[in-house]
Amino acid sequence: MNYTRISTIIVALMPWLLLFSRAGADIAMSAVGLVFLLHSYRTKDWGWCRQNLSKIIFFMWILFILISPFAENNASISMGRALAWGRHPLFFLGCIHWLLRDIKNLKIVGFSCLAALFYSGSNIFFQYVTGFSFEGNPIQGNHSSGQRLTGGFAMPKIGIFIARILFPILAVLYVLRPNKKFSALILLLVLPLILITGERTASILSLFALAIVGFCLFMVQPNLRRIVLLSGVISLVALGALYATQPVIQKRTDFLIEQVSNYPQSYYGQLTIASLAMGRDNLLTGVGLQNFRYVCPEYIENKTVHYCNLHSHNIYMELFSETGLLGLLALIFMVYYLLKEPLAGLKGDKNQQFVAALALAGLAINFFPLQASQSFFSNWPAILLWFGVALSISSVICAQIALSSNKTSINEKE
């Protein structure tokens, strides 16, 4: 068994490692990135380094390292986080430029992801019905404050786990088996499960991603416009029914409305204000990676905010506060180059357009600028983000390769 096949199997195991072993997922991601560099050295293929997306990623990595000595509180923590950050994009680049350009490899990863999706969804349903997950984890919260499901995790993050990889997995599966009815069936089964987890961010992002898919198909495929509009109406009715009949959804929705209506005084509003103040006061270098937690109390003392947390809970605010204006601009440019591939796919044939719409939805879930999110630098959320992004971009690339190759047919099966 060669190192390419081993690396493919490691990538295929990634959703399972994210479910059961944070350390295992981190080791696996680092290993794939290192083997990708070894592969590039052995094949003398460094062309991927000259692409704009790779350049902006390397610029970000170097920037994080260079600003770390100027961290406001703890330069050693900032430097350690900066040096380690590179393993995430290296994994991503290895997937899109090497491992997942092969349809056979994509098939192995796609079916493993589908199995992980089925397991996670079944676990949510089982916990919702019985009160306990397969692993014996109880539902958190109560009826008065709003219940939150956890699935196989100790904390309520099963919803965001599924939300961040659902649309990228659908994009991959459509490349392997182009059937819109199959994609719709998976969405019909999985989306309600995300909603009943009680995770506001996961629920809103999933619905937003679904709207992006609908909007893209409405714009590029006129023959689907009636179906898209009808699906939108049915979705709104279904959401209304869920809100009226499911207390967990009702409680979390009401709480969200309350938070949004008083955003500046909410926890997330206070973190945004603190982040903007830190970025303004440290425009060139930020306060340093993972230094938000140390500096934020100063802004409580000077009465800028009345609440702090470990990080900004928004990746754009996190980059601005911890890496300065250059870090924020670099992130924006990176997202721009990520979006170029699926946006170009919308100009292809109908199959490419459908894959591109799903991939755009997957990118939106990870990079929508107004969402509350986990840290851009912490290992588990970062691995989840880069894995989902790798699947999204690889699906678009493989759709183009498959459509231009006689080896793989992706003629749609209606």
405: number of Cβ within 10 Å? 12
Measured CA to CA, the distance from residue 411 to residue 414 in angstroms comes to: 9
| Angle, vertex CA 334, rays to CA 81 and CA 89, nearest 5 | 45
Q: What is the DSSP letter of 137?
A: P
Residue 257 in tokens:
């409305």
Residue 249 is classified by DSSP as H
For residues 312-317, give the mean pLDDT.
95
Answer whether residue 233 shows pLDDT above 70: yes
Lowest mean pLDDT among 67-76, 239-248, 290-299, 378-387: 239-248
pLDDT class of 330 with cuts at 50, 70, 90 = very high
Average pLDDT value for residue range 392-405: 83
Q: Which of 64-73, 136-145, 171-180 has the lowest mean pLDDT?
A: 136-145
Burial group, residue 230, by CB count within 10 angstroms (0-12, 13-18, 19+):
exposed
Task: Report residue 403's pLDDT band, with 50, 70 and 90 as the boundaries.
Answer: low
Provide DSSP, 104-164: HHHHHHHHHHHHHHHHHHHHHHHHHHHSB-TT-PBPBS-TTT--B--TTSSSS-HHHHHHH
Predicted local confidence at residue 409, as pLDDT:
41
Q: What is the mean pLDDT of the chain?
A: 91
Kindly state the DSSP code that residue 346 receives in the 8-state scheme.
T
Whether the pTM exceeds 0.85: the reply is yes
391-410 average pLDDT score: 73
Rounded Cα gap, residues 152 and 54, in angstroms = 35
Determine the Cα–Cα distance for residues 338 and 10; give it in Å rounded to an integer: 24
Q: State the pLDDT at residue 327.
A: 96
171-193 average pLDDT score: 93
pLDDT score for 407: 43
pLDDT for residue 232 is more than 50: yes
pLDDT band at 218 (very low <50, low <70, confident <90, very high): very high
pLDDT value of residue 318: 97
Tell me: pLDDT of 69 over 90.
yes
